[in-house]
């Protein structure tokens, strides 16, 4: 196939050839043209990390306008978990768009919104009565979870954690830990947000019980349970560095919240929908949150988000207090129902656990031969390496950036993350083949070796 054919017939989904193919440098001439237009037309604050013009994606690849085919180990930040342009999602979107594209659920309700709520109520952890509300983005879901918790408890304070990321709106900037690039210069931030120390086994060496005791002591001394509406945490911290807390940490926090009438909110925007090898990461820790926020993987790439939780908490907000013009858009809901069917029918959590084995085996072997990899960690298809000085553990952000840049130049999309910017994370779509994943990891290994 010529480059032009690849460009003019950019059919996405699993029909795309599943190969890494470089026909130009990255970025090629067409991509460069778009990036120049972007620089002139799009606000500088909207960055990008992979300098290509995407024209198609599916299975485990993203194809650019120059005909390059890149291995996708990022899933658009954990969104295309079922696979990009998944055929069932595409068909559902097309059918719904031809039927109606919008009524506003707050004006004229439709069935798909209710069906998504029913599915979330059924699938999220815990067998208590649950209800859901739908929104457009992860940040919006987190904002609404906090609103609901405040209304339910009549209290105002909210606790978030070191290394936490919850979004870029005003309240979620306050909840997010890292200043640059998320918060710097954008204050003042919403009040009554407090930050507690998290569990970061590679850096703090604490047991889950000790890390929880440290956090709970802060909550009791600096806020007081009587003032605290909610404790908000990502079960595995995503943007902060794919930090898996020590065993028992989350369980102790949940127990403390329950004993004090504090709403425990699990932000599963990044960890949800099979990403961690269970439908929800909370299951992997044996916790039952009061509220769960979801987005990203829920709808195969369409914008949709949700808050799901205990019916009596969810019902605390008065009619009209929750919602938004587009929340639970019918096209996004149709996509979500198709994606959720794929998660269940194809047992995608099991596929994520298979990918965990491949990723961890390969990365642990790499760590054996390169002590600059301080830690290999993660759950399911959410695995990362943290680069650090072998002796002092000082974070090595320059190495993470250099490896990521070299991988992209060689046709493998990887993303960095971490409070210290020294983590490379692997978030492949669950539709990637083992061969392609292994080829991507070969490229990571050679990119790392090139830096020695």
Chain positions 65 to 84 lying near ligand PMP, rule: CB under 6 A, are 77
Segment near ligand PMP (CB under 6 A); pick from 10-18, 28-36, 137-145, 256-264: 137-145
Distance separating alpha carbons of residues 383 and 362, to the nearest angstrom: 11
Judged by CB under 6 A, how many residues of this single chain contact ligand PMP?
Answer: 15
Residues 144, 265: contact at Cβ < 8 Å?
Answer: no
Place of tokens 């925007």: 269
Near ligand PMP by CB under 6 A: residue from 64, 66, 143, 239: 239
Characterise 192 by phi-psi region: left (phi > 0), alpha (psi -120 to 50), beta (else): left
Site for ligand PMP in 285-324 (CB under 6 A): 295
Q: Which stretch in 110-118, 164-172, 245-253, 328-336 sits in contact with ligand PMP by CB under 6 A?
A: 164-172
Which one of 27, 58, 83, 138 is in contact with ligand PMP (CB under 6 A)?
138
The whole-angstrom separation of Cα 40 and Cα 43 is 8
- Whether the CA torsion 153, 157, 162, 164 is positive or negative: it is positive
Structure tokens at 372: 């600059």
**Cis previous bond, 70, omega within 30:** no
Token readout for 186 is: 């954008």
Going residue by residue from 244 to 283, which x/- string records binding to ligand PMP, judged by CB under 6 A? -----------------------x-xx-------------
426 neighbors 386 (Cβ within 8 angstroms): no
* Nearer of residues 241 and 395 to ligand PMP, judged by Cβ: 241
Minimum distance from CB of 200 to ligand PMP (Å)? Answer: 16
DSSP 302: S
- Indicate whether 142 belongs to the interface with ligand PMP (CB under 6 A): yes
Interacting residue with ligand PMP among 58, 83, 125, 167 (CB under 6 A): 167
Question: Of 123, 98, 83, 18, which is closest to residue 301 (Cα–Cα)?
Answer: 83
CB of 417 to ligand PMP, least distance (A): 9
Q: What share of the chain is helix, strand, coil (3-state, %, to 5)?
A: 40, 15, 40
240 lines the binding site for ligand PMP (CB under 6 A): no
Q: Which is nearer to ligand PMP, 272 or 395 (CB)?
A: 272
Q: Which is nearer to ligand PMP, 135 or 256 (CB)?
A: 135
Binding positions for ligand PMP, rule: CB under 6 A: 77, 137-139, 142, 165-167, 234, 238-239, 267, 269-270, 295
């Amino acid at each position: 196939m010529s480059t032009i054919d690849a460009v003019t017939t950019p059919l996405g989904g699993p029909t795309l050839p599943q190969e890494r193919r470089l026909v130009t440098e990255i970025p090629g001439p067409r991509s460069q043209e778009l990036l120049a237009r972007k620089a002139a037309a799009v606000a500088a604050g909207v960055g990008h990390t992979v300098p290509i013009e995407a024209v198609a994606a599916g299975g485990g690849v993203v194809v650019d306008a120059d005909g390059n085919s890149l291995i996708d180990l990022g899933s658009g930040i954990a969104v295309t978990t079922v696979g990009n342009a998944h055929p069932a999602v595409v068909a559902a979107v097309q059918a719904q768009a031809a039927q109606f594209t919008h009524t506003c659920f707050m004006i004229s309700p439709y069935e798909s919104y209710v069906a998504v709520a029913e599915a979330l109520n059924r699938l999220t952890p815990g067998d208590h009565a649950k209800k859901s509300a739908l929104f457009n983005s992860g940040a919006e879901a987190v904002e609404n979870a906090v609103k609901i918790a405040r209304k339910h408890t009549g209290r105002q304070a909210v606790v978030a954690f070191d290394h936490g990321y919850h979004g870029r709106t005003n309240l979620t900037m306050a909840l997010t830990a890292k200043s640059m690039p998320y918060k710097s210069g954008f204050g003042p931030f919403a009040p009554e947000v407090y930050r507690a120390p998290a569990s970061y086994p590679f850096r703090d060496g604490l047991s889950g019980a000790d890390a929880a005791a440290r956090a709970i002591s802060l909550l009791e001394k600096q806020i007081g349970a009587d003032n605290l509406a909610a404790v908000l945490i990502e079960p595995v911290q995503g943007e902060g560095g794919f930090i898996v807390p020590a065993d028992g940490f989350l369980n102790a926090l949940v127990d403390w919240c329950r004993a004090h009438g504090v709403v425990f909110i699990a932000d599963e925007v990044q960890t949800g929908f099979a990403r961690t090898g269970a439908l929800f990461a909370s299951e992997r820790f044996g916790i039952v949150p009061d509220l769960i926020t979801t987005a990203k993987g829920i709808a195969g790439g369409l914008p949709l988000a949700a808050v799901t939780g205990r019916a009596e908490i969810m019902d605390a907000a008065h009619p009209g207090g929750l919602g938004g013009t587009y929340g639970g858009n019918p096209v996004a809901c149709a996509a979500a129902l198709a994606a959720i069917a794929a998660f269940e029918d194809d047992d995608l959590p099991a596929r994520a656990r298979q990918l965990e084995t491949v990723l961890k085996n390969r990365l642990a072997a790499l760590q054996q031969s390169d002590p600059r990899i301080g830690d290999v960690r993660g759950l399911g298809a959410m695995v990362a390496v943290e680069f650090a000085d072998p002796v002092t553990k000082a974070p090595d952000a320059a190495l993470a950036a250099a490896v990521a840049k070299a991988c992209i130049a060689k046709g493998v999309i990887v993303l960095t993350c971490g409070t210290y910017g020294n983590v490379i994370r692997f978030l492949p779509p669950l539709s990637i083949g083992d061969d392609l994943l292994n080829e991507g990891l070969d490229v990571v290994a050679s990119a790392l070796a090139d830096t020695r």
